[in-house]
């Protein structure tokens, strides 16, 4: 097996992000490779639809500012250089794929809640990343374990 050169870890800034980042750091350090971190902010219009006659721009800007600050702190705690911190707006699986291509990542690390049944059929970010990635994907099981 060839060693990885660039690892992209996708986090949602929840408490579980530490588990995912920890696994990514372990892989990166064992392969002596670059570690990049990405957080994707979904536009409010995705969640609430574009038909609502409201201007979400102020709220969206505040979400972006807070997420940027949280990502910076998280990255500092995990030893990720500022040039390797990425925060983008869009659909998570699409943006994670795009960033992986942009930085030429050969491994993407994401968290997975191990959904089943209807939740699995509805899809998840980890599932979306796995099925569209052009490189290896490591899904780290987070949350409650049965």
Residue range 89-134, pLDDT digits in tens: 999 999 999 999 999 999 999 998 765 544 444 357 888 888 889 9
Q: Please answer whether residues 2 and 51 qualify as being in contact, where contact means their C-beta atoms are separated by less than 8 angstroms.
A: no
Residue range 9-33, pLDDT digits in tens: 999 998 889 999 999 999 988 877 9
pLDDT of residue 128: 86
Length of the chain: 146
Other beta carbons within 10 Å of 117 = 7
Domains belonging to the chain, first-starting first, are: 6-141 (3.40.50.620)
């Amino acid at each position: 097996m060839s060693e990885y050169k660039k690892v992209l870890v996708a986090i949602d800034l929840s408490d579980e992000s530490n588990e995912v980042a920890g696994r990514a750091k372990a892989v990166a350090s064992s392969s002596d490779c670059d570690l990049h971190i990405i957080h994707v902010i979904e536009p409010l219009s995705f969640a609430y639809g574009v038909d609502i006659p409201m201007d979400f721009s102020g709220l969206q800007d505040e979400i972006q500012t807070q997420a940027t600050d949280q990502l910076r702190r998280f990255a500092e705690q995990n030893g990720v250089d500022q040039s390797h911190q990425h925060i983008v707006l869009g659909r998570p699986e699409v943006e994670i794929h795009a960033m992986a291509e942009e930085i030429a990542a050969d491994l993407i690390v994401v968290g997975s809640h191990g959904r089943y049944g209807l939740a699995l059929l509805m899809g998840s970010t980890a599932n979306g990343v796995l099925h569209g990635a052009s490189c290896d994907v490591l899904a780290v099981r987070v949350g409650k374990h049965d």
